Amino acid sequence: MEVCYQLPVLPLDRPVPKHVLSRRGAISFSSSSSLFGAPDPRQLSQRRGAISYDSSDQTALYIRMLGDVRVRSRVGFEPERRGSHPYLSIDFRILHSQPESAGPVSARKIRRLLSFQRYLHSSRACRGVTPQNPLHILDHDYTGQAKCMLEKVGSWNFDIFLFDRLTNGNSLINLTFHLFNLYGLTELFQLDMIKLRRFLVMVQEDYHRQNPYHNAVHAADVTQAMHCYLREPKLSKSLTSCDILLGILAAATHDLDHPGVNQPFLIKTNHYLAALYQNTSVLENHHWRSAVGLLRESGLFSHLPSEDRLDMERQLGSLILATDISRQNEYLSKFREHLDKEDLCLANAGHRHFVLQMALKCADICNPCRPWELSKQWSEKVTEEFFHQGDIEKKHKLEVSPLCDSQMNSVGKIQIAFAAEWARFSDTRLSRTMLGYLGLNKASWSGLLQERAGAAEGRTRPRRAALTPADDTNSKVLPQGSKES
């Protein structure tokens, strides 16, 4: 059964507004080009983002991609409660609710918004709607405590949840900005501080705050873990400044504009993104393209030669695409092969890039290796997000994705495998600490499981029980929120 939303159709006597045509993103148009004021398809194809042309369309539709997803179908279903799910609560009417101005529109007034997330915030502000989480100016105590925490940003016990509270929800901006300065990247690459700050603000805004797990705090946590790995002796002695820059950028943007659902959900609901990327690394391709869009919009690397910019974008994509969980075994087997042969040479640019890919993958799924209080919180958050998707799938009679059934308790082993292989590559205090926390967390979850089993004896299992490790001693400690395929 195809399940998606019916797109708003533009009246035949009304052209697409200029402010929409000028907006970056994908456009779906019909063979009747007069509906669009006869745009030149060659000009459209040069616009950032993906272009979709469907000659079978009888009416003109326009959509904004890279975050704001539109799907067509014969069958639709009612949207969820607003704010409960990023893709199932879109009010399409706001896309063309603004009247066109008579006369030329200045570039300043043209909104070049990447994702639906930013467009929604902007439209609410224009309509005078008070934000649900208004920003308040932090007092000096909070700012001072946040700065003190950044002095220990290389600690594996870094509490990203506390740091996010101290920065009033701006953990990703503050932490990444600090790392750029800590590594001297701002000076080395002659980056404009204003452009860098603007880029990081846009990155944080394009993470969906309503996602329990795949949000800006998760991105900040992965970035902090990536920093810990970059400081490991083998890497710190070998990585170039460009490697470090790409590693931090990839960590900060690896889940950019994540919808809070996994790839199978997008595929079985005939989601436009799934069609756009041909059901292959759908989310990862979207995260990468979204990151490239923000880099270009902010002009962060505009002073660099075009060949260097394109090469950085390509390498950034290679790192982000490596986080596709459907390719975990492929990367793990390759990593093991290198370790068995002991042929990893970090003087080789290709080998350094592969190690960066592995570092990013480990950072993305390292939550079971964090201290118990942090690890437990992440487990609860990813469980909530998985179960929310499962509830939607059940409601609309779709096959429930693995790990998304709140009535089941199945977990994988991939996190332990990556942690163990990383320890083989870099046998340091950090890797031993990670494995130590992994064992302690397994014991803690086993204890909780026994307590809950005793408390639930004679009655049904609580519906929202957190995922716990299986009885097999080799099963992972906590489920992680990498893109489940």
Catalytic residue numbers? 214
Q: Cα separation of 56 and 49, whole Å?
A: 22
For residue 164, which amino acid is it? D
Residue 364, marked binder:
yes
Residue with tokens 């820059």: 245
If DSSP codes are grouped into helix, strand and coil, which group holds residue 29? strand
The DSSP-derived string for 34-73 is GGGT---HHHHHTSSS--EE-TT-SS------SSS-----
**Cβ of 264: how many Cβ atoms within 10 Å?**
22
Least Cα distance to 208 among 277, 115, 77 occurs for: 115
Residue 217, marked binder:
yes
User: Please, are residues 196 and 180 in contact by the beta-carbon 8 Å criterion?
Assistant: yes
- Class of residue 482 by CB neighbours under 10 A (exposed 0-12, middle 13-18, buried 19+): buried
Q: Which two tokens stand for residue 372?
A: 């118990």
**Cβ of 467: how many Cβ atoms within 10 Å?**
22
User: Please, are residues 189 and 312 in contact by the beta-carbon 8 Å criterion?
Assistant: no
If DSSP codes are grouped into helix, strand and coil, which group holds residue 81? coil
If DSSP codes are grouped into helix, strand and coil, which group holds residue 200? helix
**Cβ of 385: how many Cβ atoms within 10 Å?**
21
User: Please, are residues 231 and 363 in contact by the beta-carbon 8 Å criterion?
Assistant: no
Q: Cα separation of 361 and 194, whole Å?
A: 30
Residue 174, marked binder:
no
Q: Cα separation of 469 and 480, whole Å?
A: 12
Residue 255, marked binder:
yes
Residue 192, marked binder:
no
Sequence-ordered list of residues with C-beta below 8 angstroms from that of 352, at least 6 positions apart, any chain? 238, 239, 240, 243, 346
**Cβ of 364: how many Cβ atoms within 10 Å?**
27
Reading phi first (left if > 0) and then psi (alpha if -120 to 50, else beta), residue 394 is in alpha
Residue 470, marked binder:
no
Residue with tokens 């690459």: 189
Q: Which two tokens stand for residue 266?
A: 């997008």
Q: Cα separation of 435 and 429, whole Å?
A: 10
**Inter-axis angle of helices 282-298 and 241-253, nearest 10:** 120
- In the chain the first and final C-alpha atoms are separated, in Å, by 20
Residue 96, marked binder:
no
Residue 69, marked binder:
no
Residue 203, marked binder:
no
Check residue 153 and report its DSSP letter.
T
Residues of the binding site for Zn(2+):
218, 254-255, 364
Give the residue ranges of the annotated binding site.
Answer: 214-218, 254-255, 364, 415
- Annotated binding-site residues for AMP read 214-218, 255, 364, 415
